[in-house]
Structure 1
């Protein structure tokens, strides 16, 4: 499964949210109001996660196979996956959150593909987290490889 490049700027689609000490007092920034460096960093994270999901590791192949099976069972052309991503000061993905899949192996595979991976760039020091990203996995054409389109998501 290959991942298709981003369509359009993620600036209008990336949501950045951080929870303060109380869940009801979460801070958020609309994508249009986010500083440019936050948007650029979110684009870099999206590219990095896209690369991890399209990898050739056993976990990546198994995860994509599971998602393909779900999509086929639901007679859909694509599947969207909302990820909340926390990144430590050293650029390591410290945590992800997502709606769990029915099979624990798919959940474990997704976590193993992303959590603990060190990204090439460090987050801006004052950037709100988590990043909310949507990865849309598209089915393959009959005569070509499976593709996926990674898009950013707005905050909840």
Structure 2
């Protein structure tokens, strides 16, 4: 069961998160009304660049984490130190995402957003758990190899 969580379920959940972030970014970019000129709230160019860089970094981290969790080829091709570091960063990001959903849920009344937030927190928890298990497995393997 744990092998299926680490190798099949967690990577699919991460890819769902990637799709969610990508769709939200597309929606916010294309569907938002352009009132910045009227309200004088147009963000600076450096602010836009920083925001874009953060979103791209998050998407790369999530996609790479999904590949390292779900694909044997990616796992074997990646050096152990890089794989361990990448999969150690992934649960930190997942906990940040879960915290953000929890923060927004606490500020709103019960409704559909609460159910979506609960599902998102559960997803983040499963992904973080699977990533931590992979990191611990890699550390155990390297310790055993060092003692041999």
TM-score by length of 1: 0.26
Bigger helix share: 2
If the length of structure 2 is used for normalisation, what is the TM-score?
0.28
- RCO comparison, higher one (Cα < 8 Å, 6+): 1
Query: Which of 1 and 2 has greater Rg?
Result: 2
Report the structure, 1 or 2, having the larger strand content.
1
